[in-house]
Amino acid sequence: MSRRVLLLPGDGIGPEVVREARRVLDWANARYVLDLSFVEANLGGVAIDRDGAAYPDATRELARVADGILLGAVGGPKWDGLPAADRPERGLLAIRSDLDLFCNLRPAMLFPDLAAASSLRAELVSGLDVLIVRELTGGIYFGEPRGISVRPDGVREGVNTDRYSEEEIRRIGRLAFEAARKRGGRLCSVDKANVLEVTMLWREVMDSLSAEFSDVSLSHMYVDNAAMQLVREPRQFDVIVTGNLFGDILSDIAAMLTGSIGMLPSASLNADSCGLYEPVHGSAPDIAGEDRANPLATILSAAMLLRYSLSAANAADDIERAVSSVLEKGLRTGDIASGENDQQILGTEAMGDAVMAALQ
């Protein structure tokens, strides 16, 4: 049966980068006979303008039956004056919660030719390829009780609750083990089990899952050490799995190691492995419509879509290799150019052409 891919170009540079990613998806569809069908819908500011809501009903219906979703970016100055509840970014929160996307995958890959862009020395990061698996719908960001109250003695007090059930830990753990199995076979679970009971349970559940995945080697690390190791020797990691709060922080550290926001893909998955795939960057209104946006983060997000939601790992490998070979030739968009003379600066579409040429 044909599998449905929903494209949500969104706002700003979103349509420009999704257009280029669609070309590699079309290529994969033909090359590997994947029987994909594509449909496009509105999300974010464009949806507010055309349909009166950031996550319109028509988009919701298509999202609920899609096998995978590719998003550009949402938001922009045009909608900045709207009340918080009506802004384009609400569309993103709404689709994440509607589809119960509890598993966030953030790879931090550093192509060898971009090592100079990292905040760390090239020899520490060249070839870096870490995947951070972050639980996205539980933990301290959602736990009850929460709030700010006034104690009987008149002093104000703030409270948040870090809470995870065994089931929540098991479902994110299982996806992390599966991801590790598709990569280097090493999973590091990050917690603070020396202090926090919620993460003692986290560690226990990860250990119990380990029996089901004998081909994956599981290790544990405290979060303070993990933060230190990520900047000391980041290439020691293959896959890291952690809760919502620790994942938020560690994924941003890992992202900085790669140096360029225009290169970073991401995915958020639910229990059916349907996922929303999107570049980490926003809608970049400052360069929208100028053919200057780097499409590679979205092209790499399309590769993740093929790998994690469409079981087309070969196609994903080909696309990642094509991106790597384009960089090797010295082809760059403005955001990843380092000023060396052997580099050629391309626009969005020409970078898409270069990836297509490398694929063919």
Give me the 83-102 binding string for ligand NAD, x by CB under 6 A, dash otherwise: ------x--x----------
Pick the catalytic residue from 49, 207, 252, 286.
Answer: 252
Decide: 98 and 57 in contact? Cβ < 8 Å.
Answer: no
Q: Which of 86, 286, 290, 328 binds ligand NAD (CB under 6 A)?
A: 286
Active site residue 353: no
Contacting residue, 262, 265, 275, 352, with ligand NAD by CB under 6 A: 262
- CB within 8 A of 252, min separation 6: which ones? none
Task: State yes or no: is 252 an active-site residue.
Answer: yes
Which residue in the list 141, 182, 222, 291 is annotated as catalytic? Answer: 141
- Are 159 and 267 within 8 A, CB to CB? no
Q: Is 224 noted as a catalytic residue in this protein?
A: yes
Examine the residue annotation and report whether 141 is marked as an active-site residue of this protein. Answer: yes
Contacts of 190 (CB under 8 A, 6+ apart): 220, 221, 222, 223, 226, 240, 241, 242, 246, 250
Q: Would strands 331-332 and 344-345 be described as parallel, antiparallel, or unpaired?
A: parallel
Residue 192 bears catalytic tag: yes
In contact, 295 and 320? CB cutoff 8 Å: no
Q: Which is nearer to ligand NAD, 199 or 260 (CB)?
A: 260
DSSP 8-class letter at 334: G
Judged by CB under 6 A, the residue of 74, 264, 302, 358 near ligand NAD is: 74
**Residue in the block written with tokens 């896959």:** 239
What minimum distance in Å lies between the beta carbon of 159 and ligand NAD?
29
How many residues of this chain interact with ligand NAD, rule: CB under 6 A? 21
The span of 104-112, 166-174, 187-195, 287-295 binding ligand NAD (CB under 6 A) equals: 287-295
Shortest Å, Cβ 227 to ligand NAD: 23
Q: Which stretch binds ligand NAD (CB under 6 A): 49-57, 94-102, 206-214, 292-300?
A: 292-300
* HEC secondary structure over 75-126: CCHHHCCCCHHHCHHHHHHHHHHHCCCCEEEEEEECCHHHHHHCCCCHHHHC
Q: Which residue in the set 90, 134, 281, 307 belongs to the binding site for ligand NAD (CB under 6 A)?
A: 281
Pick 16 or 162: Cβ nearer ligand NAD: 16
Segment near ligand NAD (CB under 6 A), from 24-32, 74-82, 97-105, 195-203? 74-82
Q: Give the binding range for ligand NAD (CB under 6 A) out of 29-37, 251-259, 274-282, 300-308.
A: 274-282
Whichever of 30 and 93 has its CB closer to ligand NAD, that residue is: 93
HSE at residue 279, side-chain half, CA atoms within 13 A, is 30
CB of 325 to ligand NAD, least distance (A): 20
Nearer Cβ to ligand NAD, position 113 or 278? 278
Sheet holding 186-191, edge to edge: 36-40, 3-10, 68-73, 275-279, 265-269, 103-109, 129-135, 239-242, 186-191, 217-222
Catalytic residue among 224, 272, 286, 317: 224
Choice among 67, 238, 248, 318 that is catalytic: 248
| Least distance in angstroms from the C-beta of 259 to ligand NAD | 12
Query: What residue ranges in the chain does DSSP mark as E strands?
Result: 3-10, 36-40, 68-73, 103-109, 129-135, 147-150, 156-159, 186-191, 217-222, 239-242, 265-269, 275-279, 331-332, 344-345
> Rounded distance, CA 251 to CA 314, Å?
26
CB neighbour class for 212 (10 Å; exposed up to 12, middle 13-18, buried from 19)? exposed
* Catalytic machinery residues: 141, 192, 224, 248, 252
Residue ranges binding ligand NAD (CB under 6 A): 13, 73-76, 89, 92, 261-262, 278, 281-287, 293-294, 297, 335
